[in-house]
Amino acid sequence: MISIIVPVYNAERYVEQLVNNIKNQTHKDFEAILVNNNSKDNTEKRLKELIKDDSRFRILFESKQGPNYARLKGFESAIGEYVYFFDSDDRIYPHTIENLYRNAIENHSDIVIADYVEIDETGEITKRCKGINYSINDSSSIFDPEKTFFVKMPLWNKLIKRNMLKKEYFAFSSIGEDMLISLCCVANSTKISYLDKEIYQYLVTENGLSYEVTLKNSLGILETFKVMDLIFDNEFRKRYDEQKVYIQTQHLLFRLMRSILLNKNDRKIAYMQLTNFLKTSNYKNNVYYKKSIPFKGASFLLTNLFMYKVSSVILKPFLVNKTLQKVLKKLDK
């Protein structure tokens, strides 16, 4: 059995699509756990109407606000061998669960990683994304965890064996909490396989939390990384420290670049806290960072205060240009 877990918050306009996406799965042996994350609209009422004749569906309620509170609630209630998370405003294909599960069984995998697409609010595909962002030479497409650290880290393009997940992996921060779950599961696994199929449609909106630039979101990643450090130090005994530091460096440099869009006072706070975290990680001695010319260049421009101020003046007009942002996003394969 597959446990499908979906946090649902103020999603009244999407719940019919959500329920139909799940009901239309060709793989019928599933439980769908829909967690109402304290919605203020008619989400729960509509859900009850849509699932009343299907015993495979359950609605849970979580009063604490945040997708990981809802995911944890669903995980603690799940009984499936594998768990699949997705978001209420996104879409899955009829064969999504079947394709993921078949790959998992054939390869005896702890985790299956697949491709996905990004769509806009009209449903048009704006970008195609590979689940594995490096060349595949292994005909079996099976990887050890060390190599798989550098895949893209959303939860919804992965099928995860339930015993790979632990309560501690669910951080209650505002940014990067799904990435932390993915990374911890990868570190906890022994076999990971790749499914070369698109299985998910991710809705990208201009007002999405991941794209909103505020001081809270700029610094929210630090709370995620503090939890990550504790887990990796205690559970994995620093086995994956090089990978962890490199991933953290990538995200911190990205947040530094985005912080250019903040007002002057918030920008100063973001710069100080983000660069302080970077310094404590000793990232310049990281084996992966040393090989990355783009990240060395980004570090030069963004971590030196004088260059950061110069970069703020030069880059800000480009960062606020939505047309340019869309072009750059399409180039980011």
**Residue 288's closest CA among 234, 244, 251?**
244
Residues present in the chain in total:
333
Mean pLDDT over all residues of the chain?
88
Residue of higher predicted confidence among 40 and 144: 40
Assess whether pLDDT exceeds 80 at residue 301.
yes
Q: How far is CA 286 from CA 82, 152, 273, in A?
A: 34, 20, 20
Distance CA 309, CA 303 (A): 10
Domain edges within the chain = 2-203, 213-331
Averaged over 76-97, what is the pLDDT? 97
Residue 266 and residue 312 in contact, taking contact as beta carbons nearer than 8 Å: no
Q: Are 69 and 39 in contact (CB under 8 A)?
A: no
Q: Is 111 helix (H, G, I), strand (E, B) or coil?
A: strand
Q: Average pLDDT of 75-96?
A: 96
Stated pTM of the model = 0.89
**pLDDT at residue number 315:** 80
Under the banding of pLDDT at 50, 70 and 90, the label for residue 223 is very high
Name the CATH architecture for the domain at 2-203.
Alpha-Beta Complex (3.90)
| Segment 95-132, tens digit of pLDDT | 999 999 999 999 999 999 999 999 998 999 999 998 87
- In this predicted structure, the answer to whether residue 61 has a pLDDT above a threshold of 80 is yes
The more confidently predicted of residues 54 and 325 is 54
Beta 30-36 vs 2-8: how paired, if at all? parallel
